Structure 1
Amino acid sequence: MEAEAAKFIGAGLAMLALLGVGIGLGNLFSGLYQAAARNPAAIPAYRTFIFIGFALTEAAGLFALVIAFLILFG
């Protein structure tokens, strides 16, 4: 196998983490919508936790993207 092909395969495998990020964000926001539908008055209490969860989940995706770029161009 050529080195260039191995780099592409490695970068593709690093991007598999985005599958988990998509599933995690779907679960996060579906839970938010269900909680808001049940008790709309409590949304301000959820807002901080939702933003923290969103930021941490997106950070995992960004780390995977950085690793893929390091594999490709490093």
Structure 2
Amino acid sequence: MEGQLAHIGAGIAGLGTGLAALGVGNVAANFLSGALRNPSAAASQTATLFIGIAFAEALGIFSFLIALLLMFAV
């Protein structure tokens, strides 16, 4: 029973990777929306875009690592 609960928890933690993908898409979509409205300011905001993508992707990686830990360390 304990192993089954660990796999259920890993599946729930794995949802974070999909949600991180949605977060990255949201960051990129908002950047493109702003870049199309003001193209001259887009060049100065690309660093902010990459920082936002990196933070969103890092959360997905952390969620994936927690899922792996729950599956194989328990």
How high is the TM-score relative to the length of structure 2?
A: 0.86
Deviation at 1:16, TM superposition (A): 2.3
Q: 1:7, 1:24 → 2: CA distance? A: 26
Q: What per-residue deviation string (whole Å, max 9, x for no partner) do you get for residues 25-60 of structure 1? A: 222111111111111121211101001000011000
Cα RMSD (Å): 1.3
- TM-score, normalized by length of structure 1? 0.86
Whether the aligned pair in 1 keeps the contact of 2:7 and 2:71 (CA below 8 Å) is: yes
Unaligned runs of 5+ in 1: none
**1:8-27 deviation line (CA, Å, top 9, x unaligned):** 10101112223432332222
Q: Which runs of 5+ in 2 are unaligned?
A: none
Percent identity, aligned pairs only, is: 36
CA distance in 1, matches of 2:8, 2:20: 20
Which amino acid counterpart does residue 39 of structure 1 have in structure 2? N
2-11 or 62-71, which moves further after superposition?
Answer: 2-11
Equivalent residue number for residue 15 of structure 2: 16
Distance across 2 between alignment mates of 1:70 and 1:23: 23
The alignment of Structure 1 onto Structure 2 pairs a total of residues equal to 73
